[in-house]
Structure 1
Amino acid sequence: MLTPRLLERGHDVVGLDSELFEHCFFLPAKAQVPSIGGDVRDFVRDPDAVEKLRGLDAIIHLAGLSNDPLGDYRPGLTQEINAQGSIDLAHLAKQAGVPRFIYASSCSNYGASGDDFIDEGGELNPVTPYGVSKVEAEIAIRAIADDSFSPTFLRASTAYGLSPMLRFDLVVNNLTAWAATTGEVHLKSDGSPWRPIVHVEDIALAYIASLEAERTDVHCEVFNVGLTSENYQIREIAEIVRDVVPNSRVGFSDDASPDVRNYRVDCNYIARKLHNFKPQWTCRRGVEQLYDAFVSSGLKLDEFEGPKYKRIAHMKQRIEAGSVDQDLRPVRQLVSV
């Protein structure tokens, strides 16, 4: 969602992507850009890495294992990729003279913070390897900031919304898909935890606003990405989905239980500081968008609950098939001719 918007605004874009999810498109990709490498773990060990980064005006660092289930799979890999890979890349960027480094952090950093609103100065209390990795990276990257190297940290709320590489392991997307295909808004927890949510298009807008802002407005700044009004208990999201999807009802899985992750996030600071960041989406509007897309595509339950659109399930499938090794690196296939 971000790349085509950067190109539309006249930016030159190069990529760094391991392509672990190259077969997971729900919609056609909107843009193709040249690449300077693959797995961030390998790139930071490339003796030519500094030269490959030289001349860039900014790095938007999104690479990492993307959610708690994938982060829990092998916590050591999460630390290696999300934390150390990010820290090493930031050091290389500084050596190469890249002046801006925008890091994809997460509101998961707050972990179990309770029912009160928490802002960027609140206590960090990550409860998963994913959250811990994001906190470690923030701390280490902030430590190397100076007059020539300016990092910014975007703590995104829980993402949702239609995109080319749509994920169904995200709460709004998943609940809407269940309702659209079965008539049941299927809750896998007791629905009590609070979550801030933000549409993937609005996340892209936050990166663009940070990139194009004056350095003095974003240097070493941390921003919660979203709208304060878009904090919901999971059961409230379920009720919105029920109201949007005709003839649907809310139901609970047999093993539904409380979720220790519980946080309400204050997003007022980004609104005050980055005037060009103007979120466009609400939960209800996003559910309507998703429902229309699911109906028009003929989405089926076994498709979205299968391995194509769930990160951890897809990786396990690829490991079993031998196309990815246990360390989540693609395996090169030998072909006889």
Structure 2
Amino acid sequence: MRVLVTGHQGYLGSVMVPVLREAGHEVVGLDSGLFSECLLGPAPVEPPAIDVDLRDVTTAQLEGFDAVVHLAALSNDPLGALDPSITYEINHRASVRLARLAKDAGVRRFLYASTCSVYGSAGTELVTENAPLRPLTPYAESKVRVEADVAAIADSGFSPVFLRNATAFGFSPRLRADIVLNNLVASAVLTGRVRVLSDGTPWRPLVHARDIAAVFGRALVAPIDRVHCAAYNVGTETNNVTVAQIADAVAEAVPGSEVVITGESGPDPRSYRVDFSAMRKAFGDNAVRWTVPEGAAELYSAYLAYGMTGDAFAHRYTRLAHLEKLRKHGLVDGTLRVQRDPHPVAPGG
């Protein structure tokens, strides 16, 4: 199968591409390069790629593909709060535009990376894909809108699948340190303290980046009539954990570290536990394998092996800080478009 992966130079894309290639697919990437330099350890082998901003994709660029795996997005809540209008422009409108262009180009399968954060504040009961959607941030709201708008254009020739990933964790050659487990392991390695800013009580479902890739790989080849226009939570109930439990797992993995719950950011309204039985029924019981303690141990080893530093943790692997640095140096403009001219224009120019 010929597959286009958007955001292939991101945290998930850098794990997804080799998994799909190993499965025998012909993979082409599409990325503007915002996070291409966020490397820890050896750079991954790059697939052939289309170097373009998601907002500028053309129908011609999508012709000849059997499937699009759409990962590209501004990928966390602080980025959404920075400028909600850009989050909606990229995550919502450009994503729906991509789906429409893919349909026009004859692409039959469209796998969309959604999120379990669409459930927002859902209490302690396990939520299924039929639970009310209560997005609390522009990031989550944009995902809800894309699901609705792309579902509206599905037909016999264009089959979307919405994969609502739990909060990702685990090593990627293009690391993110602003997601909870990755962040807490880095804090423990660098300071000896597993520093939790909330009160530690919110529930989070977690899933390893490689397990996300495995589920996408299975969705890619599943019978279309079985998965057409369906939503699936991606993760495992074993990894429904509180932030305090995540911190304890990190302290176990990082020798000499201690948990410090400061509570300085106040209670976090985002709290949800998720049911993943529909995913197992569709894609198999063994698609998701990694536990939180295993992920903490993996990250600890990788941070030591590849020399994680405090400066890189704060600026290279934290999405918001990285983008602010690119803006400061004129490498992106005010709308986060990469400036390829050797004399970059002023933001917004």
| TM-score tier after normalising by the smaller chain length | over 0.9
Q: Which range moves more in the overlay, 210-219 or 293-302? A: 293-302
Q: Map residues 62-211 of structure 1 onto 2, 5 A cutoff.
A: 62-211=71-220
2:310 to 301, 306, 313: 301
Show the counterpart of 2:346. none
Q: In 2, are the aligned partners of 1:319 and 1:325 still within 8 Å (CA)?
A: yes
2:48 to 12, 24, 34: 34
1:260 maps onto 2:269 in alignment: yes
Q: In 2, are the aligned partners of 1:179 and 1:245 still within 8 Å (CA)?
A: yes
Show the counterpart of 1:334. 342
Show the counterpart of 2:323. 315
**In the alignment, residue 270 of structure 2 is paired with which amino acid?**
R
Q: In 2, are the aligned partners of 1:270 and 1:277 still within 8 Å (CA)?
A: no
Q: Map residues 43-54 of structure 1 onto 2, 5 A cutoff.
A: 43=57, 49-54=58-63
Q: In 1, are the aligned partners of 2:196 and 2:263 still within 8 Å (CA)?
A: no
1:244 to 253, 258, 265: 253
**1:282-310 superposed Cα distances (whole Å, 9 cap, x missing partner):** 00011011111122233233331x21000
The runs of 5 or more residues in structure 2 that have no matched partner are 1-14, 344-349
CA RMSD of aligned residues (A): 1.4
CA distance in 1, matches of 2:37, 2:264: 31
- Stretches of 4+ moved more than 3 A in 1? none
CA distance in 2, matches of 1:38, 1:253: 42
CA distance in 2, matches of 1:183, 1:89: 44
2:24 to 1, 4, 10: 10
CA distance in 2, matches of 1:256, 1:15: 38
Count, aligned residues: 329
Query: Shift of residue 121 of structure 1?
Result: 0.5
CA distance in 2, matches of 1:125, 1:193: 16
CA gap 1:209/1:50 in 2 versus in 1, 3 angstroms: same
Query: Shift of residue 252 of structure 1?
Result: 2.9
Query: Shift of residue 277 of structure 1?
Result: 5.4
CA distance in 2, matches of 1:302, 1:17: 26
Query: Shift of residue 276 of structure 1?
Result: 7.4
TM-score normalised by structure 1 residue count: 0.94
Q: In 1, are the aligned partners of 2:40 and 2:306 still within 8 Å (CA)?
A: no
Query: Shift of residue 332 of structure 1?
Result: 2.5
CA distance in 2, matches of 1:277, 1:69: 33
**1:235-268 superposed Cα distances (whole Å, 9 cap, x missing partner):** 0100111122212111134723111111111111
3-state SS, counterpart of residue 315 of structure 2: coil
Q: In 2, are the aligned partners of 1:194 and 1:262 still within 8 Å (CA)?
A: yes
TM-score normalised by structure 2 residue count: 0.91
Q: Which range moves more in the overlay, 271-280 or 149-158? A: 271-280
Query: Shift of residue 234 of structure 1?
Result: 0.1
Q: In 2, are the aligned partners of 1:217 and 1:274 still within 8 Å (CA)?
A: no
Show the counterpart of 1:46. none
CA distance in 2, matches of 1:107, 1:127: 12
CA distance in 2, matches of 1:36, 1:242: 42
